[in-house]
Amino acid sequence: MKVTATALDGVMVVEPSLFSDARGYFFESFNHQRFRESVADVPFVQDNQSFSKKGVVRGLHYQIAPKAQGKLVRVLAGEIFDVVVDIRRNSPRFGQWTGIVLSADNKKQLWIPEGFAHGFQVLSETAEVIYKTTDYWSAEHERAIRWNDPAVGIDWPLKINPIISGKDNDAPLLSAATLV
């Protein structure tokens, strides 16, 4: 696998090695030993999957300690613009974001360690997203930052009115959020 660092410390793009022939293709979507050696030595305890329509924005989600989560995100079908925001108060990149297109075609994955909020916008007609987490979901520890916080300034690629849950639309701004 190929691992590429992003502008946010610890957030990495993971590209699996693809083996193609006349029958189709094969790739290892996850190998714990290789991931541990090249990206992070973390346990994954839960897999989550979502299906969304074009224009849906999900996020920006995270969990606070002691249930903070790292996530390894990939797309099974379709295409998304995946976004990560640094919410570590002592980080020199606090409040900054990075984004990448993840798709079933490019097979890229995004590693998001604890200390970052995560969200995405669906670019294709539909998308199926799956992600591994390093801790279990906990309603008590779940938090969100508003997807369109002007202080963060995410440049979402689809300039349409997003389809967004009430919970995500009512999330606090970064300045008022409970952070890790």
Which domains are assigned to the chain?
2-19+26-176 (2.60.120.10)
Tokens of 50: 């979502």
Whether 36 has a pLDDT exceeding 70, the answer reads yes
- The reported pLDDT for the residue numbered 164 is 96
- Using the structure block, give the residue that is written with the tokens 């989600």: 61
- The reported pLDDT for the residue numbered 178 is 84
* Residues 6 or more apart in contact with residue 22 via CB below 8 angstroms: none
Separation between Cα atoms, residue 147 and residue 167, nearest integer Å: 11
Residue range 9-36: average pLDDT?
94
Separation between Cα atoms, residue 61 and residue 27, nearest integer Å: 29
Whether 27 has a pLDDT exceeding 80, the answer reads yes
Q: pLDDT averaged over the chain?
A: 96
* Cα within 13 Å of Cα(7), Cβ side: 13
The alpha carbon of residue 141 and the mean position of all alpha carbons in its chain are separated, in whole angstroms, by 18
Residue range 143-165: average pLDDT?
96
- The reported pLDDT for the residue numbered 180 is 62
Q: What is the CA radius of gyration of the chain?
A: 16
**Percentage, residues of the chain above pLDDT 70:** 99
Cα–Cα distance list, 20 to 7, 26, 85, 101, 108 (Å): 31, 6, 35, 22, 16
- The reported pLDDT for the residue numbered 118 is 98
Per-residue pLDDT band for 155 (boundaries 50, 70, 90) equals very high
Cβ atoms within 10 Å of 157's Cβ, excluding its own: 12
- The reported pLDDT for the residue numbered 160 is 87
Per-residue pLDDT band for 179 (boundaries 50, 70, 90) equals confident
- The reported pLDDT for the residue numbered 152 is 98
Which sequence positions are flagged as catalytic?
Answer: 61, 131
Whether 38 has a pLDDT exceeding 90, the answer reads yes
